[in-house]
């Protein structure tokens, strides 16, 4: 189980848990990113900016200050 | 006959996720019959509009785009209150909700539906992007959706007007029904259950689902770490260039028209005070409002294109890191960039920032960006006081000083943003979250409607404040009347008038306040007088200093060189970098934040910066010169 920001580019992973609960986490779940959701890390913005993840038809950008909020498990193909 | 004024009227709430095509549908239904809604004390201002169908009047409200109704953000709270009828005593519960769902993101819309169905208001679902679903080869089973939800479903293509009549028919048959036609969902309460229910329904409704890959292909270039940044810089350059170069000819034309009108008044009205009131009070007052229109229209046009096409979200993604250092978010760069042309359109464009607190911070620092009205003041003083020398043959000292003034403004703005963010303005939903909408062609109709609405709103709200302020300023500078001796040249007469006017009296009274930063009463009056617009500082200085030797007309820059000292000149420059010397900006801050409090705050903090900055500059310069 690793932090979402430690995933390599292009990796596919599954959301395992959100260790804390906050409005932000609620919002993520509303976007459909609930534990068990499989997503792909599509890209990172330049200069250590946000990351983009994709699951289903949804594409979300997350800022790196969301560190330690989302734990994931890489899915091997 | 009373029959005519008792047209049955119903209120319909348009609800949907951001980018669901809700506003396009709203524009199709109401056309130009819309305005920005404005409830006292409420910061969100959705559009309201109306249309008639079957002799029924429908009042439509375009509620802010929202993903849920869990009331985490002020947008959601607003929508929830509106649906419950608790927003305002004048605004009862809506008679019907039209839930707009982007068919390619059905599950998001269904998720929102799980909240809406709790409120006992009839719901009609309008599915947009029906054409793109079919084009992708997917099958959308609206009959099943209707059956699963027991809710009318209508497919619409807002931009082409398809399905609009069917939607209106549905409205007619649903608004009348007293009891809710939507049976409540059971066992759908927490977020996980709502997501699961939405995904389940979606899978039953959409078959052969082909994801739209066009946007992802475009993003390989647009969001590329290097190419993307190059493209971004390029778009930014065009953006910046067009605000300046497209607006300028029109602004010059407006100025000429104002002068022409004033000229024609000369021959019609002979009475002195009445003439002055019409010419310098009313005409130049209206002129000072209208002068902003070219930039407002151009910036609204550009921002609408960026937003409707889907590029704005990408640009925000690319620059988020840089803006994040200063506690701002990616979207703040548009209003700040626009403010380099003029803070009025810049502050108006801050509406693209979804979070209210981030928007407020952006609005408050926008006046520190060096607007084009400061440029004449800068160039005049620099030409007069900074020696025209170059380092290494090509770096001109004058250009270096000018660049420094721009940089000081920008940096102090960003630092203030950081301070505000760390103290009073912790954001509503702290970490940054952004959804990429698919790329779409902006439609001419949507763009022209948003330009029309913004322009109308500016003229009726901020415009009236600016007009009354400029009339007030005219009274302060023109009264009490002083009769100059016969034979005095007009410029001297104007100067004598200014000196003895209320503004002059105020200037002389408060001059001791400005003495520590090196301003004599003449500069103080010019600074006060230029509150209408910064560039008028030059004409005031011109009037004041032409008194000494009006036998030979030296250029103002020569006169200034002999009349004021270098430390004072530098002090004025720094004062103009910071001070919110612009009543129009104060008016627009009031309009956009719905409160004079923020106008006062912006004025006060920039004044403190200006005073302290000028004080340090003045005394450092004296120390260096001696």
- Sequence ranges of the domains in chain B: 3-211, 444-625
| B positions 410-429 inside 8 Å of A (CB) | 428-429
Q: In what order do the strands lie in the sheet with B96-102?
A: B34-36, B47-53, B56-62, B9-16, B96-102, B123-128, B153-155
pLDDT recorded at residue B588: 92
pLDDT recorded at residue B1: 41
Tokens read off for B502:
């209320």
| pLDDT winner (highest mean) among A13-17, A28-32, B331-335, B425-429 | A13-17
Q: Which of A27, A34, A57 sits opposite B433 (nearest CB)?
A: A27
Q: Is A38 on the interface with B (CB under 8 A)?
A: no
pLDDT recorded at residue B222: 93
For residue B122, give the nearest of B171, B157, B51, B88 by alpha carbon. Answer: B171
Q: Is B195 on the interface with A (CB under 8 A)?
A: yes
Contact A24 B320 (CB under 8 A): no
The answer to whether residues B350 and B359 touch, using CB atoms and an 8 Å cutoff, is yes
Q: Which helix (H) or strand (E) holds B347?
A: helix B343-348
3-state DSSP percent of chain B in helix, strand and coil, to 5: 65, 10, 30
pLDDT recorded at residue B586: 93
The number of residues in chain B equals: 626
Q: Is B229 on the interface with A (CB under 8 A)?
A: yes
* Helix segments in A1-77, DSSP class H: 23-30
Question: Which residue do the tokens 């400005």 mark?
Answer: B514
- Tell me the C-alpha distance between B128 and B131, whole Å: 8
> ipTM higher than 0.90?
yes
pLDDT recorded at residue B549: 42
pLDDT recorded at residue B550: 43
pLDDT recorded at residue B427: 56
Q: Which of B431, B436, B439 to mutate to test the interface with A (most CBs of A within 10 A)?
A: B431
Tokens read off for B335:
């209003």
Residue B325: burial class (beta carbons within 10 Å; 0-12, 13-18, 19+): exposed
- Tell me the C-alpha distance between B288 and B292, whole Å: 7
Contact B433 A23 (CB under 8 A): no
Domain residue ranges in chain A: 2-74
- CATH number, span A2-74: 2.30.30.90
Residues 6+ apart with CB under 8 A from A9: A41, A43, A44
DSSP string, B542-575: HHHHTTTT-SS---HHHHHHHHS-HHHHHHHHHH
Residues 6+ apart with CB under 8 A from B314: B219, B222, B223, B228, B436
**Distance of residue B318 Cα from the nearest chain A Cα, in angstroms:** 6
Tokens read off for A50:
């946000």
Taking CA–CA distances from B318, the nearest residue in chain A reads A45
Q: Is A4 on the interface with B (CB under 8 A)?
A: no
Residue B71: burial class (beta carbons within 10 Å; 0-12, 13-18, 19+): middle
Within 8 A of B104 by CB-CB distance, chain A residues are: 57
Q: Is pLDDT larger for residue A23 or for residue B407? A: B407
Ranges of residues in chain B with a pLDDT under 70 are: 1-5, 37-43, 176-183, 209-211, 426-432, 484-492, 543-555
pLDDT recorded at residue B231: 94
Q: Is A19 on the interface with B (CB under 8 A)?
A: no
| B positions 293-332 inside 8 Å of A (CB) | 313, 317-322, 324
Residue B70: burial class (beta carbons within 10 Å; 0-12, 13-18, 19+): middle
Contact A63 B324 (CB under 8 A): yes
CA atoms within 13 A on the CB side of A50: 26
- CATH number, span B3-211: 3.40.50.300
- Tell me the C-alpha distance between B85 and B513, whole Å: 53
Q: What φ, ψ does residue A48 adopt, rounded to 5°?
A: 70, 30
- Tell me the C-alpha distance between B189 and A21, whole Å: 18
**Distance of residue A55 Cα from the nearest chain B Cα, in angstroms:** 11
Q: Which of B212, B221, B433, B434 to mutate to test the interface with A (most CBs of A within 10 A)?
A: B433
């Amino acid at each position: 189980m690793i932090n979402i920001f430690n995933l390599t580019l292009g990796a596919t992973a599954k959301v395992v848990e959100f260790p804390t609960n906050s409005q932000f986490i609620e919002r993520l779940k509303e976007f459909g990113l609930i534990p068990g959701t499989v997503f792909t890390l599509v890209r990172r913005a330049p200069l250590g900016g946000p990351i983009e993840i994709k699951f289903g038809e949804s594409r979300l950008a997350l800022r790196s200050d969301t560190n330690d909020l989302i734990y994931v498990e890489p899915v091997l193909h | 006959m009373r029959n005519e004024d008792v047209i049955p009227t119903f209120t319909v709430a348009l609800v949907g996720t951001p980018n669901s095509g809700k506003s396009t549908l709203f524009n199709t239904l109401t056309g130009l019959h819309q305005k920005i809604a404005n409830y006292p004390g409420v910061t969100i201002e959705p559009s309201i509009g109306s249309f008639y169908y079957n002799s029924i009047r429908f009042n439509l409200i375009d509620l802010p785009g929202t993903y849920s109704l869990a009331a985490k953000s002020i947008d959601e709270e607003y929508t929830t209150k509106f649906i419950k009828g608790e927003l305002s005593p004048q605004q009862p519960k809506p008679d019907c909700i039209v839930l707009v769902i982007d068919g390619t993101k059905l599950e998001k819309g269904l998720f929102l539906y799980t909240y809406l169905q709790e409120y006992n208001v009839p719901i009609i679902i309008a599915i947009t992007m029906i054409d793109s679903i079919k084009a992708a080869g997917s099958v959308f089973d609206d009959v099943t959706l209707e059956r699963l939800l027991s809710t009318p479903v209508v497919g619409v293509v807002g931009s082409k007007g398809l399905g609009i009549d069917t939607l209106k028919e549905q409205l007619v048959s649903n608004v009348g029904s007293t009891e809710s036609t939507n049976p409540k969902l059971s066992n759908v309460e927490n977020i996980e259950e709502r997501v699961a229910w939405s995904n389940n329904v979606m899978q039953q409704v959409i078959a052969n689902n082909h994801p739209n890959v066009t946007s992802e292909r475009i993003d390989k270039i647009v969001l590329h770490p290097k190419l993307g940044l190059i493209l971004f810089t390029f778009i930014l350059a065009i953006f910046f260039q067009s605000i300046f170069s497209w607006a300028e000819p029109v602004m010059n034309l407006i100025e000429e028209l104002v002068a022409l009108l004033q000229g024609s008044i000369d021959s019609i009205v002979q009475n002195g005070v009445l003439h002055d009131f019409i010419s310098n009070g009313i005409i130049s007052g209206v002129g000072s409002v209208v002068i902003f229109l070219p930039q407002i229209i151009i910036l609204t046009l550009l921002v609408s294109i960026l937003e409707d096409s889907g590029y704005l979200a990408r640009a925000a993604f690319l620059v988020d890191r840089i803006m994040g250092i200063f506690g701002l978010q990616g979207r703040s760069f548009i209003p700040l960039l626009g403010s380099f042309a003029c803070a009025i359109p810049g502050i108006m464009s801050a509406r693209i920032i979804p979070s209210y607190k981030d928007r407020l911070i952006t609005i408050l620092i926008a006046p520190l960006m060096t607007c084009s009205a400061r440029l004449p003041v800068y160039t005049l003083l620099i030409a007069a006081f900074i020696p025209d020398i170059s380092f290494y043959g090509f770096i001109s000292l004058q250009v270096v000083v000018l660049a420094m003034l721009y940089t000081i403004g920008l940096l102090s703005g960003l630092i203030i943003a950081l301070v505000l963010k760390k103290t009073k303005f912790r954001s509503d939903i702290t970490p940054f979250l952004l959804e990429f909408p698919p790329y779409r062609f902006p439609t001419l109709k949507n763009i022209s409607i948003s330009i029309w609405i913004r322009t109308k709103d500016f003229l009726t709200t901020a415009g009236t404040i600016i007009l009354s302020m400029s009339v007030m300023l005219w009274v302060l500078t023109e009264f009490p009347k002083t009769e100059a001796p016969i034979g005095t040249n007009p410029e001297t007469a104007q100067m004598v008038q200014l000196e003895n006017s209320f503004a002059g009296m105020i200037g002389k009274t408060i001059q001791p306040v400005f003495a520590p930063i090196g301003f004599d009463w003449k500069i103080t009056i010019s600074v006060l007088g230029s509150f209408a617009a910064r560039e008028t500082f030059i004409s005031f200085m011109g009037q004041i200093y032409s008194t000494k030797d009006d036998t030979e007309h030296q250029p103002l820059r020569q006169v200034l060189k002999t009349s004021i000292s270098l430390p004072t000149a530098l002090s004025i420059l720094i004062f103009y970098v910071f001070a919110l010397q612009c009543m129009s900006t104060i008016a627009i801050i009031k309009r956009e934040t719905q409160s004079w409090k923020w106008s006062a705050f912006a004025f006060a903090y920039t004044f403190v910066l200006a005073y302290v900055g000028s004080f340090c500059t003045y005394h450092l310069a004296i120390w260096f010169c001696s």
